[in-house]
């Protein structure tokens, strides 16, 4: 018994000795203690919030999502009216947010890359104009850009009766940009399938052309063949199956246009403001990425007789992407999160729907904010995952 007691006491002394004097054990113990305290803190906060909500008769429930929303939304990508439940209003807000995020990221990337290249132009005028634009945009808060662009669109463009017309088909007014609305027939699925097949073929052909170029040096016109597969092939299928699409035209009735497809001024202002604002930061990222590549790469390319535009596209940009992509991910995340400022101009995104009107009508602050936070977190994680995959794909492969 004495020997067993002595062994147990020795084990306890050895454990405490490792915790205080062994670096690895001490580090593990500190991490476990920190996580325990952190979880205990969040448990206390959440428990306290639930108790307080129950004390005032609210509780914590998402049943309100199935109640009628009782408010209208000025731009919807799916069927919605004031009798629709709050969960449907949430879906509308999600789609509106994604619409701004996706189109904004595409515009910002294209404009940012162009300005980043022009920022290095030897033409003094082009260089300075781009420099002034970038410095102006980066040093003014994004909210002011949104309000300014919205004000310009609303106050500069004409009323519907004096709309700017393009061939009596497209109409630009201070109430939106009206275009023909496509109406699809069942056979249109064949065109969509052809479009997907064209994309898959383009991806495969890009890999095939790269292998051929690495093996033989032969260069295929990848861009033109890809465009033919993605655009011309679906158009050919469209006519083969009998043009299964018609258009609903916008018509002036009374004081506004009816019918057709409309892009509201709030969407246009928010997308343009966020895209042009983010493009200024992307331009600096692109400029830094290009300058990070040794000038010897350019000289070697010229020595081989490669033209400047192909040098930029085939030699400089592929190497610069490894420097550009990591900070580019942050700009995509910023643009998506900055879209929450849409409420300032009345664009009905997530914050304005479930985080705004639904919250005020139902009084479910905790539940609504939980949904909004979870949605933005999901968007950010998806963008980060995609950009991390793309960054891994573009990294140098050691042989």
**Could you give the number of structural domains in the chain?**
2
Q: How far is CA 235 from the centre of its chain?
A: 29
Is 217 among the domain residues? Answer: no
Is 213 among the domain residues? Answer: no
**Beta-ladder partners of 172:** 164, 177
Is 147 among the domain residues? Answer: yes
Residue-wise pLDDT for 83-111, tens only, equals 889 999 999 999 999 999 999 999 999 99
Is 152 among the domain residues? Answer: yes
Least confident of 1-5, 120-124, 303-307, 374-378: 1-5
Angle in degrees, 0-180, between the axes of helices 265-291 and 86-118, rounded to the nearest 10? 40
* 46/96 same-domain check: no
pLDDT of residue 1: 47
Contact at 8 Å (CB) between 160 and 173? yes
* 107/170 same-domain check: yes
* 324/373 same-domain check: yes
Q: Which residues, at least 6 apart from 332, have a Cβ–Cβ distance to it below 8 Å? A: 105, 383, 387
Q: Which residues, at least 6 apart from 371, have a Cβ–Cβ distance to it below 8 Å? A: 90, 354, 355
* 161/13 same-domain check: no
* pLDDT of 298 over the 50 cut: yes
Is 390 among the domain residues? Answer: yes
* pLDDT of 12 over the 70 cut: no
Helix locations, 119-187, DSSP H? 124-138, 142-156
* 256/313 same-domain check: yes
Residue-wise pLDDT for 198-233, tens only, equals 999 999 998 888 888 888 878 788 888 888 888 998
Is 381 among the domain residues? Answer: yes
Q: Which domain does 91 fall in, by range?
A: 86-180+249-394
pLDDT of residue 308: 77
Residue-wise pLDDT for 239-250, tens only, equals 888 888 888 888
Is 195 among the domain residues? Answer: no
Residue 286 φ/ψ, nearest 5 degrees = -65, -45
Most confident of 25-29, 237-241, 252-256: 237-241
Contact at 8 Å (CB) between 229 and 205? yes
Average pLDDT over residues 66-88: 88
Cα 259 to Cα 244: distance, rounded to the nearest angstrom: 20
**Beta-ladder partners of 344:** none
Q: Read off the pLDDT band of 4 (50, 70, 90).
A: low
The C-alpha torsion from 343 through 347 and 353 to 359, rounded to 10°, is: 30
* 34/102 same-domain check: no
Average pLDDT over residues 37-58: 82
Cα 149 to Cα 147: distance, rounded to the nearest angstrom: 6
* 123/19 same-domain check: no
Strands 176-179 and 170-173: antiparallel
Is 118 among the domain residues? Answer: yes
């Amino acid at each position: 018994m004495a020997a067993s007691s002595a062994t147990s006491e020795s084990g306890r002394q050895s454990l405490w000795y490792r915790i205080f004097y062994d670096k690895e054990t001490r580090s593990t113990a500190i991490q476990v203690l920190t996580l325990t305290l952190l979880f205990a803190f969040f448990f206390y906060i959440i428990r306290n919030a639930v108790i307080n909500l129950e004390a005032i008769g609210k509780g914590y429930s998402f049943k309100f999502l199935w109640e009628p929303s009782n408010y209208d939304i000025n731009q919807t990508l799916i069927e919605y009216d004031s009798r629709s439940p709050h969960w449907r209003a949430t879906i509308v807000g999600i789609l509106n947010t994604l619409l701004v995020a996706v189109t904004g990221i595409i515009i910002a990337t294209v404009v940012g890359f162009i300005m980043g290249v022009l920022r290095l132009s030897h033409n003094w005028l082009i260089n300075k104009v781009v420099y002034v634009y970038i410095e102006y945009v980066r040093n003014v808060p994004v909210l002011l850009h949104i309000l300014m662009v919205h004000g310009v669109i609303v106050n500069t463009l004409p009323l519907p009766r004096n709309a700017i017309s393009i061939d009596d088909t497209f109409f630009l007014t201070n109430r939106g940009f009206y275009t023909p609305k496509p109406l699809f027939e069942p056979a249109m699925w064949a065109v969509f399938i052809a479009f997907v097949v064209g994309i898959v073929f383009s991806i495969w052909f890009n890999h095939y052309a790269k292998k051929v170029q690495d093996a033989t040096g032969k260069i295929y016109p990848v861009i033109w063949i890809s465009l033919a597969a993605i655009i011309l092939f679906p158009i050919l299928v469209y006519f083969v199956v009998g043009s299964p699409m018609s258009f609903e035209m916008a018509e002036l009735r009374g004081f506004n246009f009816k019918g057709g497809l409309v892009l509201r001024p709030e969407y246009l202002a928010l997308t343009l403001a966020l895209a042009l604002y983010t493009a200024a930061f992307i331009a600096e990222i692109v400029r830094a990425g290009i300058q990070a590549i040794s000038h010897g790469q350019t000289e070697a390319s010229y020595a081989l007789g490669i033209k400047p535009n192909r040098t930029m596209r085939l030699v400089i940009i592929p190497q610069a992407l490894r420097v550009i992509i990591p900070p580019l991910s942050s700009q995509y995340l910023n643009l998506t999160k900055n879209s929450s400022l849409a409420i300032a101009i009345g664009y009905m995104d997530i914050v304005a729907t479930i985080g705004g009107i639904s919250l005020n009508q139902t009084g479910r602050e905790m539940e609504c904010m939980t949904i909004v936070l979870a949605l933005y977190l999901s968007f950010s994680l998806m963008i980060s995952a995609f950009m991390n995959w793309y960054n891994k794909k573009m990294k140098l492969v050691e042989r």
